[in-house]
Amino acid sequence: MPWHTLNTHTINLKAKLKIINIVGARPNYMKIAPLMRAYKDFDGIDALLLHTGQHYDLKMSDKFFDDLKMPVPDIFLNVGSDTHARQVAKIMTGFEDVCDKEKPDMIIVAGDVNSTMACALVACKKGIKIAHLEAGLRSFDRRMPEEINRVVTDSVADLLLTPSPDADENLVNEGVGIQKIFRVGNIMIDTLYEFLPAAQKSGILDALKIFPKSYALTTLHRPSNVDDVEVFVKILSTFNEIALKIPVVFPVHPRTQKIIEQNKLTYLLKNIIITEPLGYLDFMRLMSESKFVITDSGGIQEETSVLKIPCITLRENTERPVTVTEGTNKMIGNDMEKLLHFASEAISGRWKMSKIPDLWDGKTAERVIEVLKRVL
């Protein structure tokens, strides 16, 4: 789909556009960091950075700000963890006050976490324009909280900045006017290309006493995999079988750690190399040198596709289908036979051909700025 002319009548014309950029949870930082840098070359924008505090542990937040050289947030809402309704409510009330004080012309939200949807809803009710980065992705599975967040955010957004053609199609099918849709590419890949050289200097492989291309890397935090103990035990047991053939490295998300402790499952981790959640550079180094990855994350499906690392995804569906059709991703749900099979394939170096999707080229932030310039 070509780039479209934005309907400038709907946007407040001013000398400088005041934009609040929102981060809240771990996957947001690598999507907003390239934009915060790109604004510096363009003085038409007064850009503020707001952190909701949805993620707050040093390893889930501050470490990423350091690794990605992000500015200290101008505004911090400090909401912390809670049930979804309470967390969203806290973000909304906090952000409403911010909007009243700062009077932004636009907010930019990224991805599909609770902070994304909560801030978009507030801005929409206040008549503040909303740009959604990573718009249009759909798993068509409303059991995922992220799917609800995606659908709601896109339905109120004014600028839908998409990473791939399937996202454009999803939006058009939902009745979004094509004048609002701009395919800019995958902004997270800007961060990957920028920081890969720095990641190569990480000492994480030495620290874990492992060697390039001689281990598997896994991450797991989705409710569908870790909340049902029977399913979780089955997955961890299979990891143990894989660990007989190749070392398995597992940085454990705080949510997953809690479930391990509550259910006394540490005995299933004896043969696995466990770490705390890692910062961006250490994790990127681990991922780029791994033989293959087993995950339920969204972003890792994309990053492995760009790095050409085989990826086995423990989910029934994906909102990122190009990682399957063009990238290195295989979806296997909770089928442990398939996990063992594809792990063996990856260990033997047999994997499908792949290509990097269009516009996943490290230049997405520049294209976003071009769109914003047109708005101005």
Binding site for ligand UD1 (CB under 6 A): 25-27, 54-57, 60, 81, 112-114, 145-146, 221, 253-255, 258
- Minimum Å gap between C-beta 29 and ligand UD1 is 11
Q: Of 261, 216, 219, 283, give the one whose Cα is nearest residue 59.
A: 283
> How far separated are the first and last CA of the chain, in Å rounded?
22
Active site residue 84: no
Which residue number, 23 or 161, has a Cβ lying nearer to ligand UD1?
A: 23
CB closer to ligand UD1, 25 vs 272: 25
Q: Which of 311, 329, 299, 312 is nearest to 26 (CA)?
A: 299
Which runs of E-coded beta strand occur in the chain? 17-23, 45-51, 75-76, 106-110, 129-133, 159-162, 181-183, 216-218, 248-251, 273-275, 292-295, 311-313, 329-331
Nearer to ligand UD1, 165 or 254 (CB): 254
**348's tokens:** 């033997």
- Of residues 247 and 277, the one with the C-beta less far from ligand UD1: 277
Give the type of residue at 366: E
Contact 161, 368 (CB under 8 A): yes
Cβ 193 to ligand UD1 shortest distance, Å: 22
Cα(300)–Cα(251) distance, integer angstroms: 13
CB of 111 to ligand UD1, least distance (A): 7
Closest contact distance (angstroms) between CB of 61 and ligand UD1 is 6
Instruction: CB nearer to ligand UD1: give 123 or 346.
Output: 123
Distant-in-sequence contacts of 38-44, Cβ < 8 A, 24+ apart: 38/365, 38/366, 38/368, 38/369, 39/369, 41/369, 42/369, 42/372, 42/373, 43/16, 44/15, 44/16, 44/17, 44/372, 44/373, 44/376
Catalytic residue among 132, 221, 253, 341: 221
CB of 51 to ligand UD1, least distance (A): 12
Q: Indicate the residue type of 103.
A: K
Q: What residues are labeled active site?
A: 221
